[in-house]
Structure 1
C-alpha cells in the first residue's frame, strides 16, 4: 500500500471492513485526488451506499442510482455512461453485470477508467471469503495457469455428467486477476479466473450445471440443470424446476444468440466458495463457469443481448494433451 495513501489515511483504513480496505488498496491502488464513481440500482442500493459511505471519506466520490437493468450486459442510462468517462475508478454495485456492456467497454478503451464490478454483492462478502485473498498471489496462479490454458482442442468433464469438447484454436486466454490497478483495466473481485472463448459452432456434448447459475431467479442449484450442446449452441435444457426457470429466462429474449457457448472460465481464487453470488461462485477454485450468449470479450463475434455464466463443480480440463485440472484439483 506504499505511495497509495498518506500515512494518516493508511491508519484510518485499518478501521474499515476488510473487503472495503481491499477495494481501495490492493485491488485498485486508489490515490489521493482520484475521482471515484459508485454506480448502483434500485435493488442493490444497500451495497452502493455501503461502498459510498467509506469512499467519500477518502476520495472525491459520486454515487448514481439508476433503474435496475434487464440482464447482464445491458446498457446503463446515458447519464451513467457519461459519468463513466469522467472518473478514475468506477464501482458497479448493481444487480446485473455491466462488464460486457458497450458503455463499459468504450469507457475502458478511452484509457482512464479502472472498472470494478460489484454486481450481485451481499454485505457478508466484505468480511470473509474471496475478498480476503492475497491478490498478488492470485495473479501468480493465474499467470502460471494461463501458459497452459490455450491450444486447439478443449475437453471438459466432471463427476456430475458433463462431457463436452470444443475448439479453442486461435483463441487467447483472457484474465481477471480480481484487480483493476492500471488505466483501462476491468475486474470483478473476488472473482479470479482465466477464460477462453470457444470457436463458434464447435462445442458439442453435454453440460451438467450442478454448482450455481448467478441470476436473481436461480443462484445455488438444488438439482442439476442438464444442457445438450450441438454445434456451439444449447439445443435442449432438462432437469427440474430450475431447468424450467433457465429455459424461460432464455426463451424470453427471443434471440437465438443467447444459447451460444461463449466462455470457458476457470476459477482460481482459493478463498472463494460457492455461496450463490456471482463473483465468488465464478472465481471459486476447482470449478468452471460456462458463459452463454455474448462472446465479444473472448475473441468471438457474437453480439448477444445476454451474457450469463453457469457453474460446474469439480471439473477435469484437458487441452490437447495437457491435463490442467482433475476433479477440481489444479495440476499445473
Structure 2
C-alpha cells in the first residue's frame, strides 16, 4: 500500500510494521475526553486508507478499568483497534476477552503525545527489536528472581511456573495485543513471594505523576507493598492507591523488562516502560501474567539501570544486557 509522503513515520509504522493492515480491514480508534487530540490525529490518517470508526468515551479512573459496553461491542466488530486513551485498556477484561475471541488486533496508544509519532521508539526497526526480545526471553524464566538497582532496590521473588509474556510492540496476528513503542518481556511473580525494597527513580506513568524528580521507595512484604516513603511523589502515589479502597492494588504483579533501545524515559507510558536497561514493576491486576489477582488497577512503576539475576545467572548489570 502506498501512503502519502506527508504521513509521519510513526503513523506509517502503526499501519505497516506494527499491524500489517490491509485496505479491506476495519479499524477502530478509541479515545477519551483527555486524549481526543491523539485519537483524532490517528483517525485523520487512518480514514483515508481504511474503513475507520472513531469513538470517544469518558476518561477512566485508572489503568485496566473497563470501558462502556458500547466500546466493548465495537471492539468485537473490528480487525484492528487503536486505544488512544489516557489510561491503558490492556489489562481490562474487555480487551482480554475480546482478544481471546481471536479476531481483534489491539494496539494501545495510551498516554501518547504528538512528538512520539516523529521520533523515538516508533522509529525503531521492529524486526531487530523482536530478535532481542526472543534472545533475552530464553533466559527470562526460572525459579528465583533477584532485582537490584543503584537507587537502592533489593528485592527477591519466586517466578516458578511462570512463563514469559512478550510485547514486541506489534500486533500482526489476530488475537494479539501490544502498545508500541513499548517492547518488553515480562514475568508475573508468584503471589505472596516478593520481599524487599523497591526504589522507583524513573517514572510512574499516571497523569498525576510521570517523570519522578524524587525517588519513591516501597517496602514489599509477602507479595504486597506495605509502606510507601519519599517526598511529594510518594504522597501522590499513596493517595492514588488509597482511593481504590482495595488491598489488591498493592499486589506485586509484573516484572517488565524494556528492550527497545530507541526508547528513553520521557514521562509517557510506552517509551518509559519499553526503554532498554530499565524495568517496570506492575502492581495490582496480574491476570495477564499467569496470576489470579483481579484488581481494579494495574499500574506500572519504572526504575533505572537495573541488575537482574535469575537462579544466580546475571542477565543485566546496571542496565547493560549480559545475555
TM-score (ref. length: structure 2): 0.99
Residue in 2 that maps onto 1:149? 140
Tell me which residue corresponds to 1:255: 246
Distance 2:210 2:155 in 1: 23
Q: Distance in 2 between matches of 1:217 and 1:185?
A: 30
1:195 match:
186
Q: Which residue number corresponds to residue 211 of structure 1?
A: 202
Is the CA contact 1:37–1:89 (under 8 Å) kept in the aligned structure 2?
A: yes
TM-fit CA distance, 1:32 = 1.1
Alpha-carbon separation, structure 2, partners of 1:251 and 1:13: 48
- Please point out which of 21, 25, 37 is paired with 2:12: 21
1:101 aligns with 2:92: yes
Question: Take 1:320 and 1:155, find their aligned partners in 2: how far apart are those partners?
Answer: 8
For 1:122, the equivalent position in structure 2 comes to: 113
Equivalent position to 1:239, from 213, 224, 230? 230
Matched, 1:41 2:32: yes
**What are the within-5 Å matches in structure 2 for residues 152-231 of structure 1?**
152-231=143-222
Please state how far the C-alpha of 1:321 moved relative to its aligned partner.
2.1
SS in 2 for 1:37: strand
State the match for 1:283 in structure 2. Answer: 274
Q: What residue ranges of structure 2 are gaps of 5+ in the alignment?
A: none
- In the other structure, the counterpart of 1:55 is 46
The 3-state SS of whatever aligns with 2:155 is strand
The TM-score normalised by the length of structure 1 is 0.97
Residue 171 of structure 1 contacts residue 299 of structure 1 at CA under 8 Å; is this kept in 2?
Answer: yes
Q: Structure 1: which 5+ runs fail to align?
A: none
Q: Deviations over 1:145-165 (max 9, x none)?
A: 000000000000000000000
2:287 and 2:117 map into 1 onto residues whose CA distance is: 31
Q: Tell me the alpha carbon deviations over residues 185-232 of structure 1, each in whole angstroms, 9 at most, x when there is no partner.
A: 000000000000000000000000000000000000010000000000
Report the more deviating stretch, 308-317 or 103-112: 103-112
In structure 2, the residue matched to 1:323 is 314
Q: Distance in 2 between the 1:42 and 1:265 partners?
A: 29
Any conservation in 2 of the 1:13–1:21 contact (CA below 8 Å)? no
- Could you tell me how far apart the structure 1 residues matched to 2:98 and 2:215 are? 38
Deviation at 1:106, TM superposition (A): 1.2
For residue 79 of structure 2, what is the aligned residue in structure 1? Answer: 88
Corresponding residue to 2:304 among 289, 313, 317: 313
How many residues were matched structurally? Answer: 323
Once superposed, what is the RMSD of the aligned Cα atoms?
Answer: 0.5
User: Does residue 136 of the first structure (1) align with residue 145 of the second (2)?
Assistant: no
